[in-house]
């Protein structure tokens, strides 16, 4: 690491990106990891807890409203800058949603908690759209490694606060026996810490990027798309049980059938509004077709392999990660131990991994960094299988957590740099949102069934299975390794 690399890491833009990373990372564990502890203490079943990971679909579908964020100016707020105005709006919505969730009690009515979590996820995903575009538009590709590393550093620090910090607070307020007031206090304190993001937004410098204006027809198209997604999930949720026999295979078949029926309902919504001339597919070209066609034109036949790689790269991490806290609790570790070793020291290891991944990609290239990240991320899951068959041992727990988090941080930083290199400056927010949505969709879909998998095959085989899920990624990286770099026009 030379002096210029160090200077980039401590520049004003990089430090500002660390604050944005904090703002982006804080809500994440409140809807996943910390939430899982809350639900376990509230007596919610394991298979239901992992279904809450589907709140992450807000991140998977964020490309649907990214054109609005990319092109539409907000009334009044746009005076502080296009990107800054959307950042401020999304951060205010996150704070409101966290406070709303804090007043719910999953032990009595899980539905209201689910609504609050979905609202946090939606607002957080919107903030991610803007921050990703803000970061990419602020510097050239060569300097993205530094911004990505600092962004991930802030992101992981926020995860220490919302992960370890929230569990420490829960222990302080009293968590041995379930008390809804404990979690109410925890979530409200986390909501107040989102003011760090508001401060970063108000003190940052707006990137100078000229954007095309989006038409009312395109806005209508986005609204109908969002409505079709809502229709999909409502149809999936309320369809009656088709297969009554208790079987993992038949259960999977039933879910496939429900997905196709729900997809048909969503398509019907699109066709209906097209027939009454509320939307025009052709006029939505700027919002959706042009960003996709521009990417396919640049990468041609290789584009398909790139998209598959994006969809599978983080699958081993995400599918395993939804079960981590539940595993620790069911194994017999205490909440304070989880907070200290997993959410505190573990996330410092992730920050270290993020720095190493960002710097490695700057020095050795993105593809080589991707390959190393994919290998160590998959191998680290095998360590959890070993942990599952050993007796409770704090030293073993610490060793596995440190190894896993370094691997996760390295792979995450490498992947962020790679996704940034794929975008065109003409469609920064839309393309990056599309890529990150693809990254999350398949892993989140599978992760929702993680609890049921553990019920069927147990923790050791589950962790080995998640490691195997990472193997196809190695072949995909090999296929694109000789791909020439394309200019971000």
Q: Give per-residue pLDDT as tens, 249-279.
A: 565 566 667 777 887 888 788 788 878 877 7
* Cα 93 from Cα 120, distance rounded (Å): 8
The answer, yes or no, to whether residue 217 has pLDDT greater than 80, is no
Single out the residue of 202, 232, 244, 187 nearest to residue 64, CA to CA. Answer: 232
pLDDT tens digits along 186-200:
999 999 999 999 998
Q: Would you say 444 and 56 are in contact if contact means Cβ atoms under 8 Å apart?
A: yes
What pLDDT is stored for residue 406 in this prediction?
92
CATH topology of domain 3-480: Growth Hormone; Chain: A; (1.20.1250)
Which residue from 149, 171, 178, 134 is spatially nearest to 44, judged by alpha carbons? Answer: 178
- Percent of all residues in the chain with a pLDDT value above 70, rounded to a whole number: 84
Closest to 358 (Cα-Cα) out of 346, 369, 345: 369
- pLDDT in the model for residue 3: 44
* Separation CA 26–CA 251 (nearest Å): 35
> Mean per-residue pLDDT for 319-348?
84
Q: Please, which residues have CB within 8 angstroms of residue 158's CB and are 6 or more apart in sequence? A: 21, 22, 23, 24, 25, 26, 28
436 in Cβ contact with 72 (< 8 Å):
no
Tokens of 418: 């790679």
Stretch 280-302: mean pLDDT, rounded?
72
Cα 378 to Cα 316: distance, rounded to the nearest angstrom: 6
pLDDT of residue 74: 83
E strand intervals along 263-363: none
pLDDT digits (tens, 9 = 90+) for 54-106: 777 777 777 777 777 877 788 888 888 888 999 999 999 999 999 999 999 99
For range 362-373, the mean pLDDT: 86
Window from 67-81, 118-132, 190-204, 310-324 with minimum mean pLDDT: 67-81
- Domain ranges in the chain are 3-480
Span 138-186, pLDDT tens digits: 765 566 666 777 887 888 788 888 888 898 998 888 866 788 899 999 9
- Cα(127)–Cα(174) distance, integer angstroms: 33
In this prediction, residue 192 carries a pLDDT of 95
Residue whose C-alpha is closest to residue 129's, from 472, 403, 429: 429
Q: Which of 11-15, 89-93, 451-455, 468-472 reaches the highest mean pLDDT?
A: 89-93
Name which of 177-186, 405-414, 417-426, 454-463 the model is least confident about: 417-426
Average pLDDT, the chain: 81
* Distances, alpha carbon 169 to alpha carbons 101, 190, 273, in Å: 17, 10, 49
* Cα torsion angle, 284, 286, 292, 294, sign: positive
Cβ–Cβ < 8 Å for 358, 149: yes
* pTM recorded for the entire structure: 0.74
């Amino acid at each position: 690491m030379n002096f210029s690399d160090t200077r980039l890491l401590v520049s004003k833009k990089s430090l500002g990106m660390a604050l944005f990373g904090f703002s982006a990372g804080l809500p994440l564990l409140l809807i996943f990891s910390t939430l899982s502890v809350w639900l376990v203490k509230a007596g919610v079943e394991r298979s239901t807890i992992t279904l809450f990971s589907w709140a992450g679909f807000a991140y998977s579908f964020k490309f649907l409203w990214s054109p609005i964020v990319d092109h539409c100016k907000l009334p009044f707020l746009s005076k502080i800058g296009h990107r800054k105005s959307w950042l401020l709006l999304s951060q205010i919505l996150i704070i409101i949603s966290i406070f709303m969730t804090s007043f719910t009690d999953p032990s009595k009515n899980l539905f209201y908690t689910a609504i609050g979590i979905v609202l946090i996820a939606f607002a957080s995903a919107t903030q991610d759209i803007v921050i990703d575009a803000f970061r990419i538009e602020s510097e050239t590709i060569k300097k993205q490694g530094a911004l990505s590393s600092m962004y991930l550093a802030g992101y992981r620090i926020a995860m220490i606060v919302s992960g370890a910090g929230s569990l420490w607070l829960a222990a302080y307020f009293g968590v041995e026996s379930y008390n809804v007031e404990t979690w109410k206090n925890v979530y409200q304190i986390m909501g107040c810490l989102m003011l760090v993001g508001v401060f970063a937004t108000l003190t940052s410098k707006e990137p100078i990027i000229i954007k095309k204006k989006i038409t009312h027809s395109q806005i209508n198209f986005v609204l109908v798309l969002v409505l079709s997604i809502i229709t999909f999930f409502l149809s999936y949720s309320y369809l009656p049980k088709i297969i009554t026999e208790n079987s993992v295979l038949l259960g999977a078949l039933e879910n496939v059938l429900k997905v196709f029926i729900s997809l048909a309902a969503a398509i019907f919504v699109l066709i209906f509004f097209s027939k009454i001339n509320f939307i025009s597919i052709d006029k939505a070209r700027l919002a959706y077709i042009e960003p996709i066609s521009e990417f396919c034109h640049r990468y041609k036949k290789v584009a398909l392999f790139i998209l598959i790689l994006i969809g599978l790269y983080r699958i081993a991490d995400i599918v395993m990660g939804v079960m981590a806290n539940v595993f620790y609790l069911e194994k017999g570790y205490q909440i304070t131990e989880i907070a200290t070793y997993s959410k505190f020291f573990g996330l410092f290891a992730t920050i270290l991994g993020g720095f190493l991944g960002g710097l490695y990609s700057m020095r050795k290239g993105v593809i080589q960094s991707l390959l190393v990240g994919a290998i160590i991320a998959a191998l680290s899951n095998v360590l959890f299988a070993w942990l599952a068959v050993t007796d409770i041992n704090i030293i073993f727990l610490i060793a596995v957590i440190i190894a896993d988090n370094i691997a996760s941080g390295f792979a995450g930083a490498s992947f962020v740099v790679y996704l940034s290199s794929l975008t065109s400056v003409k469609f920064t927010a839309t393309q990056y949102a599309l890529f990150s949505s693809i990254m999350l969709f398949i892993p989140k879909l599978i992760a929702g069934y993680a609890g049921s998998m553990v019920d069927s095959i147990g923790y050791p085989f589950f962790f080995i299975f998640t490691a195997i899920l990472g193997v196809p990624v190695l072949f995909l990286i090999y296929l694109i390794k000789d791909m020439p770099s394309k200019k971000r026009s």
